[in-house]
């Protein structure tokens, strides 16, 4: 009995020994802390890029609404794209093709689908090709002859005097660290910025 008690004492001392406990706790908590820190940095950069691109759209729209010429050999649309790309500060790749300029008849039409006749109201509100009725003479708001989920007219560029124009850019932001991308199971996130403005009235010099 005495011998068993003696054998139990070293094991009991081992259980009571707290040396190195802090290192074990740090080893368990450190990966979680690093992931949280990286997440904060990643989300902060994402918000910064979003704000920068939105700022670029605002600056581009301020130029676009005036109708002024961009310079010799440069169109208004090219200058608008240049302003947006410059505001991205080379932190995200934005091509001129990523920037949309859509013209509408009024603000209530912005980003709205073209109208159509819903032949079967029980099959949902989405347009069904071959089932719902689309009359270009009545429903074609942008004049391209087909039904569109966005009735904005892309053929008018930045629009004429007094036009309602939606400036919209869609782009992908790639996470800075593969570690965070693996944690969220996505290498990049799709972002969009948009602003709708009315062009200033200017004389018709045609």
Does any domain span residue 130? no
Global pTM?
0.78
Q: Residue 63: what pLDDT?
A: 94
Does any domain span residue 101? yes
Q: Predicted confidence band at 56 (pLDDT cuts at 50, 70, 90)?
A: very high
What burial class does residue 70 get, using C-beta atoms within 10 Å of its C-beta: 0-12 exposed, 13-18 middle, 19+ buried?
middle
Q: Residue 12: what pLDDT?
A: 61
Measured CA to CA, the distance from residue 70 to residue 85 in angstroms comes to: 16
| DSSP of 46-105 | HHHHHHHHHHHHHHHHHHHTTT----TT--HHHHHHHHHHHHTTTSS---GGGEEEEEES
94: nearest Cα among 186, 180, 193: 193
Does any domain span residue 133? no
Does any domain span residue 13? no
Does any domain span residue 134? no
Q: Residue 15: what pLDDT?
A: 55
Mean pLDDT of 81-100: 89
Res. 18: pLDDT tops 80: no
What is the extent of the structural domain holding 40? Answer: 21-112+150-198
Q: How many domains does the chain have?
A: 1
Q: Which of 55-64, 167-176, 179-188 has the lowest mean pLDDT?
A: 179-188
Does any domain span residue 83? yes
Does any domain span residue 175? yes
Residue 87 has φ and ψ, to the nearest 5°, of -70, -20
Q: Residue 127: what pLDDT?
A: 83
Does any domain span residue 128? no
């Amino acid at each position: 009995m005495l011998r068993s008690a003696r054998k139990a004492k070293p094991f009991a001392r081992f259980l009571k020994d707290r040396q190195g406990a802090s290192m074990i706790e740090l080893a368990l908590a450190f990966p979680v802390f690093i992931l949280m820190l990286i997440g904060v940095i990643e989300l902060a950069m994402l918000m910064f890029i979003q704000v920068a691109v939105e700022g670029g759209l605002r600056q581009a729209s301020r130029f676009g609404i005036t109708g002024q010429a961009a310079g010799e050999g440069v169109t208004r649309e090219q200058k608008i794209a240049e302003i947006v790309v410059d505001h991205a500060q080379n932190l995200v790749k934005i091509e001129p093709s990523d920037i949309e300029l859509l013209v509408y008849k009024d603000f209530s039409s912005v980003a709205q689908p073209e109208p159509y006749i819903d032949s079967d109201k029980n099959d949902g509100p989405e347009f069904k090709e071959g089932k719902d009725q689309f009359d270009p003479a009545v429903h074609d708001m942008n004049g391209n002859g087909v039904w569109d989920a966005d009735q904005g007219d892309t053929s008018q560029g930045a629009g004429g005097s007094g036009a309602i124009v939606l400036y919209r850019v869609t782009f992908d932001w790639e996470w800075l660290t593969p570690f965070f991308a693996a944690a969220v199971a996505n290498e990049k996130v799709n972002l969009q910025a948009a602003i709708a403005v009315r062009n200033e009235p200017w004389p018709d010099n045609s």
